[in-house]
Copies of this chain bind each other. A is one copy, B any other.
């Protein structure tokens, strides 16, 4: 095979898209900074034990493994930056109060998450540690929303869910691993008939509750229905109250999808997803995950969100090509000075190297530096 063929689901990012990704990266990180989130840069590779704390086999399979020549131990490429950020909060910063952190960098997956997904997402995210009240959940929801708005994504909707509802319903029932998987499958695909079939093997009150849960999506009225349906489960009622508070404070329209279990397995409280119309995968996933720090010896309240900037860029119209000024190549120190001044002002000045005067592929040059009565001045360029 030719030397320049890349692996499947791995791609080069060429100039116009790369520039847009860089812009989105800056917009998202600057939005997080405006909210007081400090940037951290965890490493791409770590010992697999710290990279995959309490991991399941699916995460293990997603992780590229290598041998460390220095120690002989197994290293893995990170598949998600959230556990690394929790490690930094727990051990390196070790603060008593609230800590807000954000990050943006590549993660790598052995297998693509969907038929068109890259195996090298550019994950951006933010996390808040040390506050167990819903104000932290609200702030993360608002920051995620503001990140999309800053990126000029106008049409998206927000689904709220809660990671404690299903465990509360299942508490006290000893389901087999296969039954548990079937329940999850039926919820994920909102498959009512599968859930009805499955219910025949389960106690009738649980069967009825799960059949109700699989249909619990829609507007805020879902929360009212759920309160009636799950009145016998105080833990569920508490979770529903949390969602009602968040929905009431979100300052934007939200919908409810109590059956949504997709995304990271570590969520332990309210969670949310953001979707663009006519797409099936969530663009943003976020929520509370209070348990993750325990692996690193310091359990802390935690809420966060993440998104893949490579997915985000695909949902937005490409920006205009960047306008530039072209300049001839000359040893005239006055020209050198004029070019340096323009560049210091933020302009792009492309020098036409000798012999290449006719071809400027890269930029849309709409002006040029020309000499007029000894002085170098910028003039509009009428290209056809």
Interface residues of A (CB under 8 A from B): 1-15, 18-19, 21-22, 26, 29-31, 33-36, 38-47, 49-50, 53, 64-66, 68-71, 73, 75, 77, 84, 87-88, 90-93, 95-101, 105-106, 108, 110-111, 120, 130-131, 133, 135-136, 139, 146, 249, 251, 295-297, 322, 324, 329, 331, 336, 343, 346-351, 353-356, 358-363
Extra inter-chain contacts (14) besides given A7-B70, A33-B348, A98-B356, CB under 8 Å: A3-B47, A4-B91, A4-B297, A5-B47, A7-B47, A14-B40, A14-B88, A15-B40, A38-B363, A44-B108, A44-B120, A45-B120, A64-B66, A249-B331
Find out whether the CB atom of B135 lies under 8 angstroms from the CB atom of A354.
yes
Cβ-defined partner of A295 (8 Å) among B3, B65, B68, B346: B3
How far, in angstroms, from A296 to B2 measured CA to CA in the complex?
Answer: 8
Q: Chain B residue with minimal CB distance to A52?
A: B3
Find out whether the CB atom of A88 lies under 8 angstroms from the CB atom of B12.
yes
Find out whether the CB atom of B361 lies under 8 angstroms from the CB atom of A6.
no
B residues less than 8 Å from A43 (CB atoms): 6, 10-12, 120
Find out whether the CB atom of B7 lies under 8 angstroms from the CB atom of A87.
no
Q: Chain B residue with minimal CB distance to A41?
A: B13
B residues less than 8 Å from A95 (CB atoms): 359, 361
B residues less than 8 Å from A45 (CB atoms): 7, 10, 64, 108, 120
B residues less than 8 Å from A68 (CB atoms): 7, 110
Check A6/B46 contact, CB under 8 A, given A14-B92, A98-B359. yes
Check A50/B361 contact, CB under 8 A, given A40-B12, A131-B356, A354-B133. no
Q: Chain B residue with minimal CB distance to A365?
A: B36
* Closest 5 pairs (CB-CB, A-B): A97-B359, A36-B350, A13-B41, A15-B38, A34-B343
CB distance from A87 to the nearest CB of B (A): 5
CB distance from A31 to the nearest CB of B (A): 8
B residues less than 8 Å from A69 (CB atoms): 110-111
Indicate how many identical chains form the complex.
2
Find out whether the CB atom of A296 lies under 8 angstroms from the CB atom of B36.
no
Q: Chain B residue with minimal CB distance to A101?
A: B15
A and B contact pairs by CB, cutoff 8 A, 13 listed: A3-B297, A5-B50, A7-B46, A7-B70, A8-B70, A12-B40, A12-B92, A13-B40, A35-B351, A38-B362, A66-B66, A97-B360, A98-B356
Find out whether the CB atom of A29 lies under 8 angstroms from the CB atom of B22.
yes
Cβ-defined partner of A26 (8 Å) among B19, B26, B93: B26
B residues less than 8 Å from A98 (CB atoms): 353, 356, 359-360
Q: Chain B residue with minimal CB distance to A346?
A: B34
Check A296/B251 contact, CB under 8 A, given A15-B38, A29-B22, A44-B108. no
CB distance from A219 to the nearest CB of B (A): 23
Q: Chain B residue with minimal CB distance to A333?
A: B251
Find out whether the CB atom of A362 lies under 8 angstroms from the CB atom of B8.
no
Cβ-defined partner of A21 (8 Å) among B30, B41, B99, B343: B41
How far, in angstroms, from A32 to B66 measured CA to CA in the complex?
Answer: 35
